[in-house]
Amino acid sequence: MTEKDLAQRTSLRFNDLWSYDSAPESSDYVQLKERYDLFIDGAFQPPENGKYFKSINPATEEVLSEVADAGKADVDKAVKAARKAYNGTWSRIPAKERGKYIYRISRMIQERAREFAILESMDSGKPIRESRDIDIPQVVAHFFYYAGWADKLDYAFPGVKPKAVGVAGQIIPWNFPLLMAAWKIAPALAAGNTVVIKSAESTPLSLYKLAELLRDAELPPGVVNIISGAGNTGAEIVQHPDIDKIAFTGSTEVGKLIQKSVAGTDKKYTLELGGKAANIVFEDAPVDQAVEGIVNGIFFNQGHVCCAGSRLLVHEAISEELVRKLKMRMETLIVGDPLDKNTDIGAINSRPQLEKIQRYLAESVEEGQDIYQTKCTLPEKGYWCCPTLVDNVSQSHRVVQEEVFGPVLTIQTFRTPAEAISLANNTPYGLSGGIWTDKGSKIFKVGKDIRAGVIWSNTFNKFDPTSPFGGYKESGVGREGGLHGLLPYLELSK
Ligand code: NAP
Ligand code: MG
């Protein structure tokens, strides 16, 4: 297709001659209770303080359900249940039996994949295409993968005796609720630990559905305890004296608080924090493929991805062509109902998150940067942001340095590989990156100089449970996924 054809097709879409009929998934697949209590010791229990808060659908602002707000006493109860389960059952049963439970959990999630995907989209605002094709299949894959390790730990770490750490306290964010839970629960259980996990305030529901599933799977009581609450509930987990290991995924700001709080204790910890990935496109890159990768890297899932390719670094020689094609592609992106199978960009997860994105964009306008937003029509209710480019930026601008966590892409150009590397590395983060070029040698040469935990070449945002994931610098401490992901849940002794 020539560029002229492309332009013509894009303008047709503006006129709505080329739009798709809506194809929404039915929310009838999800049965929600009006209220969810804390899942402690294998049963749903009301919080000691009697407090609840609401979880809403960010695409409609409707209340979906209310959930318990766990306080200090509830955290203590959950930790005691986890300790009792660790001492009484989980550390005593043969590893092969642990593996069987984890396999059972994976199979049951797989059987109920549709229900989980729809609920995840309703509670978080992410498009069903993403929850159906990425989140839930990856959740299942993680449980399957770690189930396989449960009775093979001696082979994974030959010559040393792997032993579970004990009780793990886990705290997760709102961008991939069930997937972040799977990243944490699956290796913890495989390694023989028990768990207390807290969901994020705006997305507690899929974890409570998981709790129902764990109960149906007859996982021994107390092995996984699921609680909900705000930041102070997370802090109570971190400070609890009988927790042996903290696994946190979230912002760098909170990660730093946690690091301070566990300093001087013998708690193990892993922190998976923020990112500001550069997608570097060289002059010999396949431009159309790169455009798809850039769009996939930052616009799908509303840019609510820690490893999102939020900075485009493009070689000067092709920048005009690339940005023109990128704009055309952006105009075809469908923003709207997360349950619609055609939707590319769903709702922003919460009002505070939308306001944060808007503050960054307002600052960019004040500073004289060039903003390009697509002409998408937004629903009247809910929290939305059209895909946005920010051009004419310099390295010191906040929108280049800080995590916006929205569908916002900054554009910078470079002339030499050395300049691209220097721009890519010049932020406090180092979680991920992308390199687009025709030459394998360039991928290796540039890739080895980029300080980031994951680098994709000629693709972006691809995941596999066998690969470790984690960052350099302010992007975190430790790795999750793969064999590496078992290590933080084990003591290795001679
Ligand atoms: P956040 O504000 O740091 O919250 C993360 C979790 O920590 C939530 O459950 C939160 O509870 C809880 N929390 C808040 N204050 C706490 C405290 N003082 N002590 C203990 N826990 C506390 O992050 P977010 O805004 O939810 O999530 C977005 C961030 O996560 C982004 O920075 C993103 O890059 C990062 N992320 C990183 C990865 C990775 O693997 N590196 C993956 C996904 C996301 P509330 O919900 O009540 O605030
Ligand atoms: Mg919600």
Give per-residue pLDDT as tens, 190-218.
999 999 999 999 999 999 999 999 999 99
Q: Choose, from 306, 307, 385, 386, the residue flagged as catalytic.
A: 306
Candidate from 197, 238, 249 with most ligand 1 atoms within 8 A of CB, to mutate = 249
The one-letter amino acid code at 416 reads: T
Q: β-pairing, 311-315 with 278-281?
A: parallel
Q: What are phi and psi of 453, to 5 degrees?
A: -70, -35
Residue nearest to atom 13 of ligand 1 (CA): 231
- CB 467 within 8 Å of CB 481: yes
Handedness of CA 436, 442, 444, 449 (dihedral sign): negative
- Ligand in closest contact with the CA of 171: 1
Residue nearest to atom 12 of ligand 1 (CA): 231
Token pair recorded at residue 59: 């695409």
Token pair recorded at residue 77: 């109860």
Residue nearest to atom 19 of ligand 1 (CA): 235
Secondary structure of residue 433 in the 3-state scheme: strand
Ligand 1 near 476 CB (within 6 A) = yes
User: For the chain, where do the domains classified as CATH 3.40.605.10 start and end?
Assistant: 27-273+475-493
Rounded Cα distance, 149 and 164, in Å: 13
Secondary structure of residue 91 in the 3-state scheme: coil
Ligand 1 near 431 CB (within 6 A) = yes
Q: What is the CA 147 to chain-centroid distance, rounded? A: 22
Q: What is the pLDDT along the chain (494 residues), one digit of tens a residue?
A: 555 655 555 554 544 556 788 999 999 999 999 999 999 999 999 999 999 999 999 999 999 999 999 999 999 999 999 999 999 999 999 999 999 999 999 999 999 999 999 999 999 999 999 999 999 999 999 999 999 999 999 999 999 999 999 999 999 999 999 999 999 999 999 999 999 999 999 999 999 999 999 999 999 999 999 999 999 999 999 999 999 999 999 999 999 999 999 999 999 999 999 999 999 999 999 999 999 999 999 998 899 999 999 999 999 999 999 999 999 999 999 999 999 999 999 999 999 999 999 999 999 999 999 999 998 889 999 999 999 999 999 999 999 999 999 999 999 999 999 999 999 999 999 999 999 999 999 999 999 999 999 999 999 999 999 999 999 999 999 999 999 999 999 999 87
Rounded Cα distance, 353 and 384, in Å: 10
Residue 306 among the catalytic residues: yes
Residue 491 among the catalytic residues: no
Token pair recorded at residue 438: 């025709």
Q: Distance, CA 433 to ligand 2 centroid (Å)?
A: 29
Ligand 1 near 69 CB (within 6 A) = no
What is the pLDDT, as a whole number, of residue 181? 98
Secondary structure of residue 341 in the 3-state scheme: coil
Domain 27-273+475-493 has CATH 3.40.605.10: yes
- CB 150 within 8 Å of CB 99: yes
Residue nearest to atom 15 of ligand 1 (CA): 231
Token pair recorded at residue 27: 């929310």
* Closest ligand 1 atom to 250 CA: 30
Residue nearest to atom 4 of ligand 1 (CA): 250
What is the pLDDT, as a whole number, of residue 401? 98
User: For the chain, where do the domains classified as CATH 3.40.309.10 start and end?
Assistant: 275-464
Ligand 1 near 273 CB (within 6 A) = yes
Q: β-pairing, 161-164 with 38-40?
A: unpaired
Rounded Cα distance, 287 and 342, in Å: 24
Rounded Cα distance, 153 and 159, in Å: 11
What is the pLDDT, as a whole number, of residue 10? 52
What is the pLDDT, as a whole number, of residue 15? 45
Candidate from 175, 239, 472 with most ligand 1 atoms within 8 A of CB, to mutate = 175
Q: Distance, CA 250 to ligand 1 centroid (Å)?
A: 3
- Ligand in closest contact with the CA of 126: 2
Question: How many other CB atoms are there within 10 angstroms of residue 440's CB atom?
Answer: 10
- CB 133 within 8 Å of CB 113: no
Rounded Cα distance, 314 and 101, in Å: 48
- Rounded to two decimals, the pTM is 0.95
Candidate from 56, 123, 134, 171 with most ligand 1 atoms within 8 A of CB, to mutate = 171
Q: Which residue has the tokens 């396949």?
A: 286
- Strands (DSSP E) contained in 189-310 are 194-198, 224-227, 245-249, 268-272, 278-281
Residue nearest to atom 14 of ligand 1 (CA): 231
Rounded Cα distance, 345 and 337, in Å: 9
- Ligand in closest contact with the CA of 310: 1
Ligand 1 near 234 CB (within 6 A) = yes
What is the pLDDT, as a whole number, of residue 12? 47
Handedness of CA 226, 231, 236, 238 (dihedral sign): positive
Q: Choose, from 25, 120, 272, 480, the residue flagged as catalytic.
A: 272
Assign a CATH topology to domain 275-464: Aldehyde Dehydrogenase; Chain A, domain 2 (3.40.309)
Ligand 1 near 310 CB (within 6 A) = no
- Ligand in closest contact with the CA of 60: 2
- Strands (DSSP E) contained in 69-105 are none
Q: Distance, CA 59 to ligand 2 centroid (Å)?
A: 9
User: DSSP letter at 64?
Assistant: E
The one-letter amino acid code at 131 reads: S
Q: Distance, CA 254 to ligand 1 centroid (Å)?
A: 7
Question: How many other CB atoms are there within 10 angstroms of residue 2's CB atom?
Answer: 7
Residue nearest to atom 47 of ligand 1 (CA): 230
Give per-residue pLDDT as tens, 352-396.
999 999 999 999 999 999 999 998 889 999 999 999 999 999 999
